[in-house]
């Protein structure tokens, strides 16, 4: 039998807000997208998100008419932790009970989190013509007899009513991710401010210090040390025994083994080789206002403090870039590059000009 899903996302963040509460993020993912992943893992690919009231007149009716011969799984977009295992087992129960509407109910409280129903029965009981927000409870109330599937997974029944709940869910999820990482051999001596996407790939013997943010789509290799106060945005690969931190931001960057990016630097859209040293206050200047450009720093290069590398630019193997330089042309390997104005001292200038308020003119 064909399956589809309706995710109800009309509830707003507040009375004043125009944003859907289900779009609020839990560890870098909107709640409705977390639920969507579970639905997809349960082999349901045809999914409709009901975000706006006006959608029901056309888009929702079209979705239902296109799936007339289907079974439909309905849940709130604010219930992000319904597991794919629960979705699959409740569907098996739904089939065993002659496809009578089946609610996923809790074993510890008077609550339910989702329902299975045939689209044919849904059309008989729900017209979706009223002006108010469509609620899962209202759909269930229209049916006389309801089959129940009991779930023993408490996470299935966590439903956010407001942004305060979302924050609590985020902290709950954050701790679960960190626990899983630590059990796999990732050292997190102090978890304060550490937020890591569950999609990030982090190998054992990595050390992660406080106030480190690691988003999804990143890989951190064995023995690397990250933080404190580091933000790693998507698209980064960090090699073995590399050191990244303090106050460093990476984005779409490959960082080779044993490379050190230690202080107050930004490295974006870059390839950084092995055994590279990037000094304090450096930046890869990757955006010209229209396009992003790539910086290449080859193995063994030394980038002094306060250097700007204006992409596209390449620093050759074992090259040395002097502190304070703004580099706009390629640097040959083994070369020293100095790209800054010569210092000029005006002796006695302050005494003559008296530029400070404390000095009487």
DSSP letter string over 49-114?
EE-STTHIIIIIHHHHHHTTTSEEEEEETT-TT--HHHHHHHHHHHHHTTT--EEEEESSSS-EEE
Q: Which residue range(s) make up the domain with 56?
A: 3-157
Same domain, 149 and 207: no
The answer to whether residues 104 and 180 belong to one domain is no
Domain end: 115, 136, 157, which one? 157
Task: Tell me what pLDDT residue 361 has.
Answer: 62
Active site residues: 263
Q: Are residues 175 and 288 in the same domain?
A: yes
Same domain? 143 vs 192: no
In this structure, is residue 80 part of a structural domain? Answer: yes
Domain identity same for 179 and 319: yes
d(Cα 57, Cα 247) in Å, to the nearest integer?
50
Domain co-membership, 177 together with 292: yes
Residues 248, 183 within the same domain = yes
**Which residue, of 157, 180, 214, is where some domain finishes?**
157
SS3 category, 132: coil
CA distance 288 to 290: 6
Q: How many domains does the chain have?
A: 2
pLDDT on residue 96: 97
Q: For residue 206, tell me if it sits in a domain.
A: yes
Q: What is the pLDDT of residue 107?
A: 86
Same domain? For 200 and 329 the reply is: yes
Q: Is residue 345 part of a domain?
A: no
Residue 22 lies in a domain: yes
Question: Could you tell me the CATH number of the domain that includes residue 199?
Answer: 2.160.10.10
CATH number of the domain that 67 lies in? 3.90.550.10
Residues 250 and 308 in one domain: yes
- How many residues appear in the chain? 361
Q: Same domain for 300 and 169?
A: yes
Q: Tell me the CB-side half-sphere exposure of residue 200, using CA atoms within 13 A.
A: 31
Note whether 216 and 202 are within 8 A (CB). no
Instruction: Specify if 104 maps to a domain.
Output: yes
Angle, helix 84-96 to helix 31-41, in steps of 10 degrees:
50
- Both 11 and 133 in one domain: the answer is yes
Does an H or E element contain 249, and which? strand 248-255
Beta-strand relationship, 71-76 and 112-118: antiparallel
- The residue among 121, 142, 157 that closes a domain is 157
Q: Is residue 353 part of a domain?
A: no
Q: Are 227 and 243 in contact (CB under 8 A)?
A: no
On whether both 133 and 249 belong to a single domain, the answer is no
Q: Indicate whether 147 belongs to any domain.
A: yes
Displacement of CA 124 from its chain's centroid (Å): 40
Strands 326-327 and 308-310 come out as: parallel
Cβ count within 10 A of residue 338? 13
Distance of CA 270 to the CA centre of its chain: 21
| pLDDT value for 132 | 72
Residue 82: what pLDDT?
Answer: 98
Question: Which residues of the chain are modeled with pLDDT < 70?
Answer: 54, 57, 130-131, 361
Contact status, residue 276 vs residue 260, Cβ threshold 8 Å:
yes
């Amino acid at each position: 039998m064909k399956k589809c899903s309706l995710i109800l996302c009309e509830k707003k963040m507040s009375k004043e807000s125009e944003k859907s509460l289900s779009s609020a993020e839990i560890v870098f993912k909107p709640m409705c997208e977390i639920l969507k992943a579970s639905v997809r893992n349960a082999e349901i690919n045809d999914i409709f998100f009901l975000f706006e009231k006006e959608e029901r007149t056309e888009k929702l009716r079209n979705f239902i008419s296109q799936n007339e011969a289907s079974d439909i799984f309905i849940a709130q977009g604010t219930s992000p932790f319904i597991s794919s295992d629960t979705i699959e087992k409740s569907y098996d129960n739904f089939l065993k009970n002659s496809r009578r509407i089946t609610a996923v109910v809790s074993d510890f409280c008077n609550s339910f989190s989702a329902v299975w129903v045939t689209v044919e029965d849904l059309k008989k009981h729900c017209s979706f013509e009223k002006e108010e927000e469509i609620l899962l409870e209202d759909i269930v109330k229209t049916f006389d007899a309801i089959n129940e599937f009991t779930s023993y997974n408490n996470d299935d029944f966590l439903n956010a009513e407001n942004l305060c709940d979302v924050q609590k869910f985020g902290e709950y999820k954050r701790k679960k991710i960190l626990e899983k990482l630590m059990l796999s051999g990732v050292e997190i001596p102090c978890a304060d401010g550490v937020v890591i996407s569950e999609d990030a790939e982090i190998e054992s013997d990595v050390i992660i210090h406080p106030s480190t943010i690691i988003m999804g789509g990143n890989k951190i290799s064995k023995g690397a040390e990250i933080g404190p106060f580091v933000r790693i945005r998507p698209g980064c690969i960090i090699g073995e025994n590399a050191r990244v931190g303090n106050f460093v931001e990476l984005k779409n960057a490959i960082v080779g083994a044993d490379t050190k990016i230690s202080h107050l630097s930004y490295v974006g859209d870059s390839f950084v080789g092995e055994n590279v040293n990037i000094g304090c206050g450096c930046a890869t200047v990757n955006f010209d206002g229209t396009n992003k450009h790539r910086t290449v720093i080859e193995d063994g290069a030394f980038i002094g403090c306060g250097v700007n590398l204006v992409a596209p630019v390449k620093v050759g193997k074992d090259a040395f870039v002097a502190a304070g330089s703004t580099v706009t042309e390629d640097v040959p390997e083994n070369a020293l590059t100095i790209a800054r104005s010569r210092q000029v001292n005006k002796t006695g200038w302050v005494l003559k000009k008296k530029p400070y308020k404390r000095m009487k003119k």
